[in-house]
Amino acid sequence: MKYFSLFLLCPLLVFSQTTRNDTTYRQRYRPQFHFSPKKNWTNDPNGLVYFAGEYHLFYQYNPFGDRWGHMTWGHAVSKDLVKWTELPPAIAEENGVMIFSGCVVIDSLNSSGFGKNAMVAIYTGHEEGKRQTQHLAYSTDRGRTWTKYAQNPILNYTPEQRDFRDPNVIWYAPLQVWLMTVVLPNEQKALFYHSKNLTNWTQAGEFQMKNTALGIWECPALIDFDTPEGKKWLLLISVGKGAVAGGSGMQYFVGDFDGKNFIPQDTQTRWVDYGKDFYAAIPFNNSSQKIILGWMNNWQYANNIPTSPFRGQMTLPREISLVKKEGKFSLKQQPLKNHYEGALPTFFGNAKTLNNSFKSTKSTDNFGLNIKAEARDFLVKLKATDKSYTLVGYNAAQKELYIDRTQSGLTGFSKDFPARTTAPLLPDANGLIHLRILVDRCSIEVFGNDGEATMTNLIFPLDNSGGIRFEGDGLKEVQWYKPQNAW
């Protein structure tokens, strides 16, 4: 994903020399259980793939600074999607060609000729002032070193067009071909290509759903699901502006796909996440689970969030599924259970009782809460001090989940940052609301009713160790836990 012209005032913050040089994960707003690079800028996750016991996270990375530029693929690996090891950058900007977003596949049949089980990266090559084209690189040592294909680019768009990017490739078994989904951003159009060898591509079809209220399309991904009604396909699309919470965000379509044509079940706009800070999520290839990972930021203010010496982080990995309600399939998302271990302390009672119980609970700067409540008005104040707090709650009359970060701490670096974001959420069959809330040093991810609605927002509290306070009717029980660190 690519650069948006952001000429915003820098946040009026002064970081000490110690902070700028500190890469030990101790900084005030350093995520503790979300991945972030030790230093410099990051945006979209790229090339997510599982291979030889490792999950690989490649990502848009600037090796030279903490704002967008000089796009290179950063690289990190994990054995469990919890703890990450940052490796040296993988595929570097070279000769004026930046390495934009893309994917990695495992060529188990050596269809490309680069070697059995070669890791093959297909990405957009971007030259300033010139058209974007699709490129290839490969690795035969588990992604530690990469060789750029000598005959790059492997795919141009004809007629010539400047914006043509973000290839996502899967193996499409019914036709025994590699299938690429790539977008024409300004046309809000996805194109489908076939290949037998990953280097020669032929256009097979396209999908377009114009919506003038939304911005450019980016970072597409096609994911198949087995359902009682047969195979269904999920098409993820990121949009540059006009998302449900303002600015950039992600929409999705569910439908049928025959390798050439995608037919959506309807034309309704559905949102992957209702917060302001969820973008560019794609799935892990070559994994037995359906898991996506996104970038936790918004292009309205991404270059100006008050962190140092890094800027940008990833969401938690989410396991996804399709559920059918009222005749339509919709997306369901859940954080992986391996982010927490053991028995979870459980507290019972109304808001007053819970507040008394939490007085004796050790407050930390990162934690998880599982809340069960009747479908009545309630809220929890997080990182609450006399001067700042963030609200997560449920509005029974509107039947909606919300996060209010207008009083969350540092908000003045962008007029678009203070916000109250909402998501529709109906009670379950027993008239209950279930919330899983994951709070890190500078973020909140909320999963409503087992992931029927999700909301992801950055926060920059004045005091990371602020308290937890409950208000309202209907609260029944709360579990508290501490997620495992990512490093």
Domains within the chain, CATH numbers bracketed: 17-335 (2.115.10.20), 340-481 (2.60.120.560)
HSE of 396, CA atoms in CB hemisphere, 13 A: 14
Per-residue model confidence (pLDDT) at position 17: 36
The residues that bridge with 437 in the sheet, in sequence order, are: 369, 446
- Is the confidence at residue 23, as pLDDT, over 70? no
107 annotated active-site:
no
Stretch 274-286: mean pLDDT: 98
- Is the confidence at residue 10, as pLDDT, over 90? no
Tokens 């903490």 -> residue:
66
- Is the confidence at residue 340, as pLDDT, over 80? no
Of 477, 403, 388, the C-alpha closest to 439 is: 403
Three-state DSSP class for residue 248: coil
- Is the confidence at residue 18, as pLDDT, over 50? no
Catalytic residue among 44, 66, 166, 277: 44
27-41, pLDDT tens digit by residue? 999 999 999 999 999
Residue 55, both tokens: 């999950």
Per-residue model confidence (pLDDT) at position 13: 36
Report the percentage of the chain scoring pLDDT > 70: 93
Per-residue model confidence (pLDDT) at position 11: 34
Residue 338 banded pLDDT, cuts 50, 70, 90? confident
CB 395 within 8 Å of CB 379: no
Q: What residues contact residue 466 under an 8 Å CB cut-off, 6+ apart?
A: 363, 382, 383, 384, 385, 388, 389
449-468, pLDDT tens digit by residue? 999 999 999 999 997 678 89
Prior bond to 424 cis, omega within 30?
no
Q: How far apart are CA 57 and CA 46, in angstroms?
A: 7
Per-residue model confidence (pLDDT) at position 412: 97
Per-residue model confidence (pLDDT) at position 20: 52
Average pLDDT, the chain: 93
Task: Supply angle C-alpha 465, 37, 52, rounded to 5.
Answer: 115
Report the percentage of the chain scoring pLDDT > 90: 87
The residues that bridge with 206 in the sheet, in sequence order, are: 191
Residue 24 banded pLDDT, cuts 50, 70, 90? confident
CA 154 to the chain's CA centroid: 28
Per-residue model confidence (pLDDT) at position 72: 98
52-105, pLDDT tens digit by residue? 999 999 999 999 999 999 999 999 999 999 999 999 999 999 999 999 999 999
Three-state DSSP class for residue 164: coil
Per-residue model confidence (pLDDT) at position 339: 75
CB 135 within 8 Å of CB 150: no
Q: What residues contact residue 343 under an 8 Å CB cut-off, 6+ apart?
A: none
184-237, pLDDT tens digit by residue? 999 999 999 999 999 999 999 999 999 999 999 999 999 999 999 999 999 999
108-129, pLDDT tens digit by residue? 999 999 999 999 999 999 999 8
Per-residue model confidence (pLDDT) at position 85: 98
Per-residue model confidence (pLDDT) at position 21: 60
Tokens 């899967």 -> residue:
170
Stretch 439-453: mean pLDDT: 97
CB 403 within 8 Å of CB 418: no
CB atoms within 10 A of CB 256: 14
CB 445 within 8 Å of CB 33: no
Of 455, 457, 452, 456, the C-alpha closest to 433 is: 452
Q: How far apart are CA 24 and CA 38, in angstroms?
A: 7
CB atoms within 10 A of CB 314: 26
Residues 95-127: b if buried by 16+ CB within 10 A, e if exposed? eebbbbbbbbbbbeeebbebeeebbbbbbbbbe
Stretch 472-480: mean pLDDT: 95
299-314, pLDDT tens digit by residue? 999 999 999 999 999 9
DSSP structure class, residue 155: B
367-386, pLDDT tens digit by residue? 999 999 999 999 999 999 88
Q: What residues contact residue 159 under an 8 Å CB cut-off, 6+ apart?
A: none
Q: Where are the alpha helices (DSSP H) in 42-102?
A: none
- Is the confidence at residue 401, as pLDDT, over 80? yes
Residue 251, both tokens: 């929409």
460 to each of 22, 192, 275, 399, 457, how far by Cα in Å? 19, 41, 15, 28, 10
CB 166 within 8 Å of CB 100: yes
Per-residue model confidence (pLDDT) at position 25: 84
